[in-house]
Amino acid sequence: MKRSSVKAVEKRLGAVALVAAVVLGAATPAVPASAHPRDSGLLQCQGTESVSYQPAVVLQPRHIRVTVDGRFTSCVGSQTEVRSGGYHEEFTLHTGCTNLLEGFRARRTYVWNTGDASTADISGNSTAVAGQVVTPVTGTVTRGRFQGRRLLQIIPVPQPGALQCLTTGVTGATGVTTLTIL
């Protein structure tokens, strides 16, 4: 993807995350200040997510080992020490190109530059939009830093092509991601 295209996508994702933060924030009950003495206010992180599939995803569903690596290189917040972070997951799916967009529920642990972590119960559902698979992930931090706070992560990756699904298969994808913790 051209650098100008990546910047345009990052700008759109930032706007989407901000709107979602306002909407989710309005629907979320206030958390007492004493519950998060070090980390109050909005946290927004920008980075990338890479997904790899072994063996490659083809048209016909089969068991696939999925590895997910997320890296946030820039985090900003009004009252937090968090500046970067990431996550790593490995799991197996029975999937093919035709059902890669199905919804999911999972538990994800974000590890921060401060040395601590946030574990969240998350769910998401992907949609194909303009040549990309866009996955909005929502959830609540259940343990660690930011406990009790809601989150929204937007993850767009290139959509697999039909020819690729019918021949060599899809071995992975990388895209920009934005995480907002409210």
- CA 157 and chain centroid, separation: 11
- The structural domains of the chain, with segments of one domain joined by +, span 41-166
pLDDT of residue 166: 92
**Entry pTM:** 0.77
Among residues 116, 93, 89, 90, the alpha carbon closest in space to that of 103 is found at: 93
Which residues, 6 or more positions from 96, have their beta carbon under 8 angstroms from its beta carbon? 57, 58, 59, 60, 61, 62, 165
pLDDT tens per residue, the chain (182 residues)? 444 443 444 444 444 443 343 333 433 444 333 344 456 689 999 999 999 999 999 999 999 999 999 999 999 997 789 999 999 999 998 999 888 777 889 999 999 999 999 999 999 998 888 888 899 999 999 999 999 999 999 999 988 888 999 999 999 999 999 999 99
Answer whether 154's CB lies under 8 Å from 132's CB. Answer: no
Give the distance between the most distant pair of CA atoms in the chain. 56
